[in-house]
Amino acid sequence: EPMAADTTTTATCGYCSTGCGLRLHVRDGEAVGLTPETNYPVNLGMACPKGWEALRILESDDRATSPMKRNPDGGFHAVSWDDALKEFTEKFKHTMDQHGAGSVAFLSTGQIPSEEMAFLGALAKFGMGFIHGDGNTRQCMATAVTAYKESFGFDAPPYTYDDYEQSDVMVFVGANPCIAHPIQWERVLRNPNNPEIIVIDPRRTETAMAASQHMQLTPKSDLALLYAITDQVIQRGYVDESYVAASTSGFDQLAEHVSRFSLDTVAASSGVSAEQIISVADSIGRGRAVSLWWTMGVNQSYEGTRVAQAIINLALITGNMGRPGTGANSITGQCNAMGSRLWSNTTNLIGHHDFASPEDRSKVAETLSIPVENIPADKGWAYDRIMEGIRRGEIKALWVIATNPAHSWINQGDARELLDQLDFLVVQDMYHSTETARHADLILPASGWGEKDGTFINSERRYGLLKKVRKAPGEALSDFNIFKAVAHYWGVGEMFAQWSDPEAVFSLMQSLSRDKWCDITGIDGYEQIDRCGGIQWPWSESAAADDVDPPQQRRLFEDGKFPYPDGRARLIVDEITPPPESPCDNYPTWLLTGRGTVSQWHTQTRTSKSPVLRKLYPIQPYIELHPTDAGDLDVVNGDQVRIQSRRGEAVANAMVVPTVSPGQSFMPMHYEATNQLTLSHFDPHSGQPSYKDCAVKITKI
Ligand code: SF4
């Protein structure tokens, strides 16, 4: 029987980076229902099925409701928080005493609020003395971060969602917003300019089906293809010479480099015709407002950083930056991937500072009232190096917070063996049932979205609020309060005395952001974020000096100035390198991976708990096969097939569809089976895993 609410409040959704506003219907302080917020600048009154079901998944039977410790026989038993935190502290301290500070690490997430990320990063590295820690954002956004930092001088996605509605040409590279970012895609549909939509993707995705042009390229030919398009843009006279002269550097090297990518050669290697390359160059060159968008098809690639920069180059040389409807725009993945980029204290010193800079270390120490000698000068290891550190026996204890590497890390069988090699694995999560929790020695029960306060930062740099509208089950605590308790048991509670609640930490974050490109010193606390429907960074004290609320849509680089000291963006090119693995006689088929549905999220840890979302998606794994290949294998729709790679094997139901080209197949990442096949290979600049392509053999069962 539905209960009537006595009030409503708005919170930002906790799945994808769109950051939709969800209206929570609250009775006696507890949310009893949810509808999309109609008065929020992001989502225009809409939400996707995951958002609609955001409350349902909090009620699942497998919520972790008390700390749990592994029994000698392999099962778990409940323990008190006191026992759990003593065990946690004793095991980590003992490991660090015996093997040094480099023998422990944490792996975090883009799914917790910025305040919790900041607390974890500061506590682990400044308070507990950890050297190594990283986030699962390494799996989704590291490439975009590196590309922007090198090209612009700061990790700064330049766009605002209004740009979707103001372009007349839109190029999506390795992005499928139709299902991955469906509410952002709704903006494209509302664009009154009847935009030309160009999709560059080896698979005929839902977005490609809606496009004006689909460049269905051979897997891993994207960098050469983008260089060939760039060369055509230059040769056909579409360069915005005054913009290039005033706002960029490196054009001559770029022009010389891309001139080596002849139409015929690239057409042969990419499978895209010379005519189509010219046609796309013409569209980009002639467009009044051209925006280029990318996501995981670019980021999760062995040369992803350079591909992202090839996209950035195209926007820059055609002057498509800083104007309505333009930009080289990385669509973020997780709800708070941007928070991780700025606040997790992993790749960057907290607040987008530099670990290696003595001035930055002093500023951070002073702002946080933490001894400067506690601020490390080294950023520590990224995710892949942490996993390799486990293999070498150097990392012996690991703290995993709200992420699921036993499902999501590349080459999953290997990842699970590594987790089992650890002396001590702590998993802090909402659910005790995740694949990673099954390997844990200690499980710490955490509250989730809707059960705690804080801020997320969405794809367009908007801080939005999440709110506590439910009590977490049993003894589960917010990650924030778990970090507070860990600080106390570790003996550094005093150091974090001012980190009293999320809004107090937000205030510290504001101080840390002062004079950075991500300056938020002008935000007047959570109340203003709530009232304004979120606030995009930057919003500095000087911007706020006239005491008005910030405009609801703001893009960066409107003055043609970039964060580098000389104000110029860099045009960066590189040599093409061969893919780490390609089809061969033994493994003759490309396996592509990616998001398969609007209704599931990542490893399904949360979304599988909703009966509605489960009904919207096949429970059994499936693999898309081209009809020609299916015919060769004597396979029809629904037949079971075995998929083998050099790493492992999986079984899936065949889905015979022409979405993939002959010689290619596709499996969604949401199934546990998929990463049993993927190849441990990484973009050398960002450390991001190359999930998207590997070689497999498919046989009928
Ligand atoms: Fe919006 Fe993304 Fe949440 Fe769906 S998952 S409601 S698109 S923020």
Binning pLDDT at 50, 70 and 90, where does residue 529 land? very high
Choose the residue to mutate in 10, 15, 35, 185 for probing ligand 1, maximizing ligand atoms within 8 Å of C-beta.
Answer: 15
Query: Which of 492, 400, 388, 468 has the alpha carbon at shortest distance from 439?
Result: 400
Report the percentage of the chain scoring pLDDT > 90: 91
CA of 139 from ligand 1 middle (Å) equals 20
Residue corresponding to tokens 């309060």: 481
**What local confidence, expressed as pLDDT, does residue 339 receive?**
87
- pLDDT over 60 (residue 495): yes
- pLDDT over 90 (residue 292): yes
**What local confidence, expressed as pLDDT, does residue 588 receive?**
98
**What local confidence, expressed as pLDDT, does residue 548 receive?**
87
CA of 535 from ligand 1 middle (Å) equals 18
CA of 19 from ligand 1 middle (Å) equals 6
Q: For residue 472, what are its two tokens?
A: 């977490």
582-596: average pLDDT: 95
Q: In this predicted model, what pLDDT tens digit does every residue of 649-695 receive, in sequence order? A: 999 999 999 999 999 999 998 888 899 999 999 999 999 999 999 99
Is 178 near ligand 1, meaning CB less than 6 Å away? no
Interatomic CA distance for residues 410 and 438, integer angstroms: 18
593-618: average pLDDT: 88
Is 50 near ligand 1, meaning CB less than 6 Å away? yes
Is 469 near ligand 1, meaning CB less than 6 Å away? no
168-193: average pLDDT: 96
374-385: average pLDDT: 96
406-416: average pLDDT: 90
Report the percentage of the chain scoring pLDDT > 70: 100
Which ligand 1 atom minimizes the distance to the CA of 181?
A: 7
581-600: average pLDDT: 93
Is 48 near ligand 1, meaning CB less than 6 Å away? yes
Is 18 near ligand 1, meaning CB less than 6 Å away? yes
Q: For residue 218, what are its two tokens?
A: 């051979």
Interatomic CA distance for residues 168 and 194, integer angstroms: 7
Choose the residue to mutate in 10, 12, 17, 20 for probing ligand 1, maximizing ligand atoms within 8 Å of C-beta.
Answer: 20
Give me the sign of the Cα torsion angle 416, 417, 420, 422.
negative
CATH architecture of 68-139+336-449+474-524: 3-Layer(aba) Sandwich (3.40)
**What local confidence, expressed as pLDDT, does residue 1 receive?**
53
Binning pLDDT at 50, 70 and 90, where does residue 617 land? confident
**What local confidence, expressed as pLDDT, does residue 211 receive?**
97
CATH number of the domain at 589-700, please? Answer: 2.40.40.20
**What local confidence, expressed as pLDDT, does residue 547 receive?**
78
Which ligand 1 atom minimizes the distance to the CA of 18?
A: 8
CA of 44 from ligand 1 middle (Å) equals 12
Is 13 near ligand 1, meaning CB less than 6 Å away? yes
Q: In this predicted model, what pLDDT tens digit does every residue of 70-99 receive, in sequence order? A: 998 889 999 999 999 999 999 999 999 999
Contacts of residue 336, defined as CB under 8 A and 6 or more positions apart, other chains included, come to 17, 110, 111, 112, 113, 114, 117, 456, 457
- pLDDT over 90 (residue 282): yes
Is 19 near ligand 1, meaning CB less than 6 Å away? yes
pTM (predicted TM-score): 0.96
Which ligand 1 atom minimizes the distance to the CA of 601?
A: 5
CA of 341 from ligand 1 middle (Å) equals 20
Q: Whose CA is nearest to atom 1 of ligand 1?
A: 20
Binning pLDDT at 50, 70 and 90, where does residue 448 land? very high
Mean pLDDT across the chain: 95
Binning pLDDT at 50, 70 and 90, where does residue 2 land? low
Is 51 near ligand 1, meaning CB less than 6 Å away? yes
Residue corresponding to tokens 């700061």: 154
Is 182 near ligand 1, meaning CB less than 6 Å away? yes
Q: Whose CA is nearest to atom 2 of ligand 1?
A: 16
Strand 290-294 relative to strand 327-330, pairing? parallel
477-492: average pLDDT: 98
Is 20 near ligand 1, meaning CB less than 6 Å away? yes
Q: Whose CA is nearest to atom 4 of ligand 1?
A: 48
Interatomic CA distance for residues 701 and 477, integer angstroms: 46
- pLDDT over 60 (residue 390): yes
Is 16 near ligand 1, meaning CB less than 6 Å away? yes
Is 518 near ligand 1, meaning CB less than 6 Å away? no
Is 47 near ligand 1, meaning CB less than 6 Å away? yes
321-334: average pLDDT: 95
Interatomic CA distance for residues 357 and 240, integer angstroms: 37
Binning pLDDT at 50, 70 and 90, where does residue 608 land? confident
Which ligand 1 atom minimizes the distance to the CA of 51?
A: 6
**What local confidence, expressed as pLDDT, does residue 412 receive?**
86
3-state secondary structure 177-188: HHHHCHHHHHHH
**What local confidence, expressed as pLDDT, does residue 601 receive?**
81
Choose the residue to mutate in 10, 17, 18 for probing ligand 1, maximizing ligand atoms within 8 Å of C-beta.
Answer: 18
CA of 460 from ligand 1 middle (Å) equals 14
CA of 16 from ligand 1 middle (Å) equals 5
**What local confidence, expressed as pLDDT, does residue 461 receive?**
97
Q: In this predicted model, what pLDDT tens digit does every residue of 215-233 receive, in sequence order? A: 999 999 999 999 999 999 9
In the chain, domain spans? 68-139+336-449+474-524, 158-330, 589-700
Q: In this predicted model, what pLDDT tens digit does every residue of 546-575 receive, in sequence order? A: 878 999 999 999 999 999 999 999 999 999
Interatomic CA distance for residues 12 and 31, integer angstroms: 14
Give the CATH number of domain 158-330; options: 3.40.33.10, 1.10.275.10, 3.40.50.300, 3.40.228.10. 3.40.228.10
In this structure, which amino acid lies at residue 457?
I
Is 145 near ligand 1, meaning CB less than 6 Å away? no
Query: Which of 92, 73, 89 has the alpha carbon at shortest distance from 81?
Result: 89
- pLDDT over 70 (residue 140): yes
